[in-house]
Chains A and B, each alone.
Chain A
């Protein structure tokens, strides 16, 4: 593996990544470097390759070419989803996917970092340590009062938070969050921004989002994707004044 300058002190390093589906180039020579502790917002029109980028990082899709390196030494293209999750990369999907028949508490319990093998879970008993950790997460995601609620009965916004809580329970170093505020009310959106900023104090975060006000509220570096590659990168003010971004977003 080559170690170019940027790799050595990066948390996540994508270099020249391309992937095609039936001839359609979903990702085209994409390069992106995320520093440890950084929060990055990724924006772009539909079909820009945002979700495919997440799929590549989490092992769901293998790139045709390019490097995907985590913590400067781990090649993610060689690993599958559970192995990448175990390394410390957590993912929140666009559509909230919690385990609907389980209650809030059990969803968090299943997500807690720990042994994932059947021979362990078959005999596992809930420990005091696990209970404390779940209580802590419940407080962070503001669902303490709903711990015994079947998660399928939660509101849309509460499901999104539960899913963020499940991500936290995994104790990942890097969180990939796909459109966390889609379908949320304004006050829920504001609370979610606060929550992500809070989370970013201890972990790195990549947020894919359409909602510009939300991205502005995060106040972080923004990467604009277009047709599978990076169109522009910088502060929200910088990218929103970039004429290429304006052209893509507003049409020519």
Chain B
């Protein structure tokens, strides 16, 4: 039954995005079926969030690791992309410095910090967008899982992790643009970011990345590895007496999940046009957990559904009643926890007699 829901989800994402792409590029602005470019980027943003939600569901839904710091991996991927996009600007910045991004000129940097080397190469930057989150997750997870930190304590230190990164990235002397972050991007891979075709291309790339992440996650959770992981989630000490090392299972899935979050972040930044330390804010990570809870924890497809639904709701609310959004989100979380323990997907499965 989850195979069917995965197929439906992938089909909907690809067909929906394909239609949007065609309707944006082949119809003139003002035509009856025209999809405006802002909608393209908006959906692209939702789908990047869906990748983050998938990453959260993988560790929380299947590994029982309630990470309240997953947006940190998303933001790290986003920063790697942002660094590339800034260097891609080259001499076209406000200060016309071919080597230094505008904020460095403004802050009186004389030379490029060493860790900015290589980010002018897109392939290097893309690799860093997954390697850096993976490394942070590896180091953090190694110590946390080896010391058998779990449950609420783990959740608290993941919050601390993202908060520490938030504070660090706020500092100007970290060399990542301080509280302004990075923005005013011009090109990606030599293509103008403002062009409709580039926007559509990014949306399509995000949709494909989401589907691939979904397939990988599905393979992992249905493999024997996934069965052990679920066993660890439900009864960790029992798996230990069976001879499994839960810490290596958790570490593996945590790193894989951080990689997915990094990919989501890297796709998010060019579509929203900015990355700043606010992305590390603990509230962002908590919001991602709410998407998963709303969609249906431990279902993968539910995470995608939840991310899109809640963010579409957020777009509507922040436009119509901006001051009520946080109340609506809180109310939604309480409602789902009380009435829909298996989320929206669980409700759909019940309505269709368990077929999807």
Residues in chain A near residue B249, CB distance under 8 A: 118
**Per-residue A-contact encoding for B15-40, CB less than 8 Å = 1, 0 else:** 00000000000000000000000000
CA distance A91 to B238 in the complex (A): 9
Residues A82 and B240 in contact, CB atoms below 8 Å apart:
yes
Residues B243 and A118 in contact, CB atoms below 8 Å apart:
no
If A97-B235, A99-B231, A101-B234 touch, does A122 touch B223 (CB 8 Å cutoff)?
Answer: yes
Q: How many residues of A contact B (CB 8 A)?
A: 28
Residues in chain A near residue B224, CB distance under 8 A: 109-110, 121-122, 124
- Residue of A93, A110, A116, A166 near B245 (CB, 8 A) is A116
- Residue of B223, B234, B238, B243 near A116 (CB, 8 A) is B243
Residue A111, interface by CB 8 Å: yes
Residues in chain B near residue A86, CB distance under 8 A: 243
Residues A82 and B243 in contact, CB atoms below 8 Å apart:
yes
B250, closest chain A residue (CB)? A118
A117, closest chain B residue (CB)? B248
Residues B223 and A97 in contact, CB atoms below 8 Å apart:
no
- Residue of B225, B237, B238, B243 near A122 (CB, 8 A) is B225
Residues B240 and A81 in contact, CB atoms below 8 Å apart:
yes
Q: How many residues of B contact A (CB 8 A)?
A: 22
A152, closest chain B residue (CB)? B234
Residues B244 and A116 in contact, CB atoms below 8 Å apart:
yes
- Residue of B220, B228, B242 near A166 (CB, 8 A) is B242
**Per-residue A-contact encoding for B222-264, CB less than 8 Å = 1, 0 else:** 0111011011001101111111110011001000000000000
Residues in chain A near residue B241, CB distance under 8 A: 58, 81, 85, 90-91
Residues B245 and A82 in contact, CB atoms below 8 Å apart:
yes
Residues in chain A near residue B228, CB distance under 8 A: 110, 118, 121
Interface of B is mostly: helix
Residue A100, interface by CB 8 Å: yes
Residues in chain B near residue A123, CB distance under 8 A: 223
Residues B242 and A111 in contact, CB atoms below 8 Å apart:
yes
Residue A106, interface by CB 8 Å: yes
Residues in chain B near residue A91, CB distance under 8 A: 241
Distance to closest chain A CB from B150 (angstroms):
15
Residues B238 and A106 in contact, CB atoms below 8 Å apart:
no
Which of B227, B243, B245, B248 is the most central at the interface, judged by chain A CB atoms within 10 Å of its CB? Answer: B243
Residues in chain A near residue B240, CB distance under 8 A: 80-82, 85
Residue A229, interface by CB 8 Å: no
Residues A121 and B235 in contact, CB atoms below 8 Å apart:
no
CA distance A94 to B148 in the complex (A): 23
Residues in chain B near residue A97, CB distance under 8 A: 235, 238
Residues in chain A near residue B235, CB distance under 8 A: 97, 99
Residue A142, interface by CB 8 Å: no
Residues in chain B near residue A189, CB distance under 8 A: none
Interface positions of B (Cβ within 8 A of A)? 220, 223-225, 227-228, 230-231, 234-235, 237-245, 248-249, 252
3 pairs of A and B residues whose beta carbons are closest in the complex: A85-B243, A81-B240, A121-B225
Beyond A58-B241, A101-B230, 14 extra complex contacts between A and B, CB < 8 Å? A85-B242, A85-B243, A97-B235, A99-B230, A99-B231, A99-B238, A109-B224, A110-B227, A110-B239, A116-B245, A118-B225, A118-B228, A121-B228, A122-B225
